[in-house]
Amino acid sequence: GRCLIASTLASASPEDQKKMLGEWLFPLIQALQPTLASKITGMLLEMDNSELLLLLESPESLCYKVDEAVAVLEACQA
Amino acid sequence: GSSINWPPEFHPGVPWKGLQNI
């Protein structure tokens, strides 16, 4: 639940907070974009932790952000 | 430019080093 996630994050260092958020987000992103999941997770981890928590709670928001990230990646690789 | 190594890739179980690049 949200309280467990928030309290776990609050007790961690900034580096560990990002790592934990990545560990939680990665499998969700991998389900949407199996081949780009590592890069997309890395991109999204540059966002504020509070925004990342919202993405964890909202599959629709996460799906939208993943689509955005894919578009940026493709633009960079073009 | 310096965007060749961007974005930093996240791999489960590996310490996250993305903050070093900001």
CB contact under 8 A, A41 and B10: yes
Q: Residue A72, Cβ neighbours under 10 Å: how many?
A: 15
CB contact under 8 A, B10 and A14: no
Q: What is the pLDDT of residues B1-22, one digit of tens each?
A: 555 678 889 999 998 887 654 4
Q: What is the DSSP string of A41-59?
A: HHHHTTS-HHHHHHHHH-H
Say which DSSP state B5 is in: G
Chain B residues in contact with A45 by the CB 8 A cut-off are: 8, 10, 16, 18
Q: What is the ipTM of this complex?
A: 0.85
Q: What is the pLDDT of residues A23-70, one digit of tens each?
A: 999 999 999 999 999 999 999 999 999 999 999 999 999 999 999 999
Say which DSSP state B6 is in: P
